[in-house]
Structure 1
């Protein structure tokens, strides 16, 4: 049982992963680097500090890392208005909050992007706290962001809700259980292997099964 619910934002509450992938594709292309979009998509969920060397390689990180991350912000800013909330996002958050959990919306995104997404789901009026890239020294799959989310509400134990294997890996390093959504494009088998204790096709499906999860009632 847990007293805190931690929700990833990008790809979990808002449908942003493909915009992120396209922004990274265009950022790499600025430097004459082409990576297949499917490969870029597989890395979405990592923070930019991990993403560039993972997708581009160590030499690309050393030569262009910071410039690529800046270019990604510029490219994503042009796509952000295409991002929409997933069906049932606000309703699920409200149900979890009404059950008595401390609610944290955990993102490693830039603060201006997080603000935009929280407005899309009307999340600021529900959440006890939220995070941005400023709250973690190392991004997922490192556990810094999950740890920061717990600390912000002085939670003792938590359940994480995310859409990627990187969410499950990060949470698992702190013995935090993860409920995973397939909205990130990962298979049920991949998410389970990464440590997810439950996998759902949508937020609506998860909401219908809350009583069967660690988000049934808080401790």
Structure 2
């Protein structure tokens, strides 16, 4: 039974992946690059420091990487009002705290965006700590965010909860078991191949699974 839950935010607690995909699409268009939105969606969950090269190549990164990241921030700001929390996000957070688990929120987004999104779920009142891309050198799928979250949580057994293959890859690299939810639009097979030990359809189902592990351990 884990005593610490490291939770992703975008696509896991709040329904923001498709707004991010559209924001990246519009940002790249500013620089004369048109990418299929489905391809951009497959990269959501990866930090912006790595996404540009992943979807558009090293030439795009060297030519306008910082500028397109800034443009994505502006485009996402125009859409952020449409982002809503998943209905059962607060049930998950409150349930984990009721079960005396430490909760650390870890997001590849900026601290400013994280602040707004966490406000949708009252995240800071439930979390023992919050880590963002500003706190690490490399974001997901690098393990830095997960490793820092582990360090902030202190000693204990942790699980990583996320919605994307990039969460899974970061968890595997950090040596943390990955539990996946399909809320980000990735399939069961994709999440399992990325390292998920269990895949669920909702956060409520995830909470029931974690509590079931506790009952089995008892």
**Take 2:16 and 2:50, find their aligned partners in 1: how far apart are those partners?**
19
Poorly superposed stretches of 4+, deviation over 2 Å: 207-213, 215-219
Shift of 1:121: 0.2
The answer to whether residue 83 in structure 2 is matched with residue 75 in structure 1 is no
Change in Cα spacing, 1:148 to 1:104, as seen in structure 2 (3 Å) is same
Q: Is the 8 A contact 1:99 1:216 kept in 2?
A: no
C-alpha distance after superposition, 1:56-86 (max 9, x if no partner): 1111111000001011101111000100000
SS in 1 for 2:123: coil
Deviations 1:84-126 (A, max 9, x none): 0001101111111111111101112111111111110011111
d(CA) in 1 for partners of 2:116, 2:148: 21
Distance 1:218 1:107 in 2: 30
Residue aligning to 2:4: 4
**1:185: Cα distance to partner?**
1.0
Q: Aligned pair count?
A: 218
Mind listing any 5+ residue stretches in structure 2 that lack a counterpart? none
- TM-score when normalising by structure 2: 0.95
Deviations 1:170-204 (A, max 9, x none): 11112211110111111101111111010011112
Question: What CA distance in whole angstroms lies between the structure 1 residues aligned with 2:42 and 2:146?
Answer: 21
Distance 1:69 1:218 in 2: 45
- The change in CA–CA distance for 1:62 and 1:94 in structure 2 (over 3 A counts) is same
Q: Counterpart of 1:162?
A: 162
How far apart, CA to CA, are the structure 2 residues paired with 1:67 and 1:36?
Answer: 20
Give how far 1:152 is off: 1.5
Determine the C-alpha separation between the residues in 2 that align with 1:56 and 1:16. Answer: 22
Kindly indicate whether residue 139 of structure 2 is the aligned counterpart of residue 139 of structure 1: yes
The CA deviation at 1:52 is: 0.2
The equivalent residue for 1:181 is: 181
**Distance 1:217-1:117 versus aligned 2 partners, 3 A rule:** farther
Aligned residue number for residue 63 of structure 1: 63
Cα contact 2:111–2:132 (8 A) shared by 1: yes
Q: Which has the larger helix fraction?
A: 2
Is 1:149 the equivalent of 2:149?
yes
Q: Which residue of 2 aligns with 1:39?
A: 39
Alignment RMSD (CA, Å): 1.7
Task: Classify the secondary structure of the residue corresponding to 1:141.
Answer: coil
Supply the distance in 2 between the matched residues of 1:15 and 1:59 (Cα, whole angstroms). 31
Contact 1:101-1:218 at 8 Å conserved across structures: no
Q: Deviations over 1:12-57 (max 9, x none)?
A: 0000000000000000000010000000000001000110000011
The structural deviation recorded for 1:216 is 6.3
